[in-house]
Amino acid sequence: MSLRIGIVGAGAIGTLFGYRLAAHNDVTMLEIRGDVIEAVNRDGLCMDGSDPRRVKATSEARDLYNAEVLFVFVRATDTLRALRPFAGELNPSTAVVSLQNGIGNEEAIKTALGGQVALVLGATTESALTLGPGNARPIGQGLTVVGSGGASTETCNRIAHLLDESGIRASTVYDIRPHLWGKLIANAAINPVAALLDRANGVVLWDPNASEIARALAQEAATVASAVRIALPFSDPWSYVRAIVEQTADMRNSMVTDLHAGGRTEIDFINGAIVTTGRRAAIATPYNETIVRLVKAREAARG
């Protein structure tokens, strides 16, 4: 059965998920960039040379009020702003799905929409490279894991089934926190190091100095996770990070893009979240605290 699906954010991952979901569903995308809206409405969504799929793109949140499922793909820094227009407008049964980077999106979504929202949280290893407005190239095949942030088990299972039907490998877990922290650790080790060096993710593997810093960031974050009783879905954080880098070695991550654009990065929601959690657990995080300050210095220098 075709569903009315809203997608907030038409970046690389929003485009990838939108393209696949549009195979059997009615997809509307919310985006603030006029050139992207124009291109998507004119040409549809394209995926690395495949036939385009028709979706609607809009800058008006009200065009997504009737969505049965609302996916959120904006940066963590933009979550509250992007979802405020939906307050009191969505059907209470609408599933809101966050597959965003970082920790803190759950709180931002519930601040915007209310604590009773049917929230599905997830972590995905799907990756894509933007080729142009509404056009992306998938990098490998990832796995998406979803769990409850307030939604029922039935709703979480429904979202996993929806993604599977659309060609996105997905599964449901009872406790999503270990998977959110797993992705957080990978992002914390890879994103800021590559961003500060202005290189693709692969620099974390081939440069010995970058590799050592990334390894220390990952291990420190894993220590914090252990202190707050998060059972990570891997035993060796550095081996996990290396596997992610190998899959995305030629890709410039979102933090690289944000620094290039002179914008605000997600550093507070990634390494900053590790620092904050470490302080609460009385765990020192000197590597993550230093990387936060370095990225913020770069943000200020470009401001």
In angstroms, how far apart are the furthest CA atoms of the chain? 54
Selection from 241, 222, 205 nearest residue 283 by Cα:
222
Distance, CA of 237 to chain centre: 19
Q: Let me know: does 224 contact 289? Beta carbons within 8 Å.
A: no
Report residue 96 as tokens. 């809101």
Q: How far apart (Å, rounded) are the C-alpha atoms in residues 265 and 75?
A: 8
Q: Let me know: does 289 contact 220? Beta carbons within 8 Å.
A: no
Q: How far apart (Å, rounded) are the C-alpha atoms in residues 224 and 204?
A: 22
Residue 183 appears among annotated catalytic residues:
yes
Q: How far apart (Å, rounded) are the C-alpha atoms in residues 241 and 194?
A: 13
Q: How far apart (Å, rounded) are the C-alpha atoms in residues 206 and 11?
A: 28
Q: How far apart (Å, rounded) are the C-alpha atoms in residues 51 and 42?
A: 14
Give the CA distances from residue 55 to residues 26, 86, 166, in Å, rounded to whole numbers and listed in that order: 7, 20, 15
Give the CA distances from residue 114 to residues 80, 88, 147, 185, in Å, rounded to whole numbers and listed in that order: 12, 9, 19, 28
Report residue 175 as tokens. 């406790």
3-state secondary structure of 146: strand
Q: Let me know: does 6 contact 67? Beta carbons within 8 Å.
A: yes
| Catalytic hit among 56, 110, 183, 296 | 183
Catalytic residues: 183
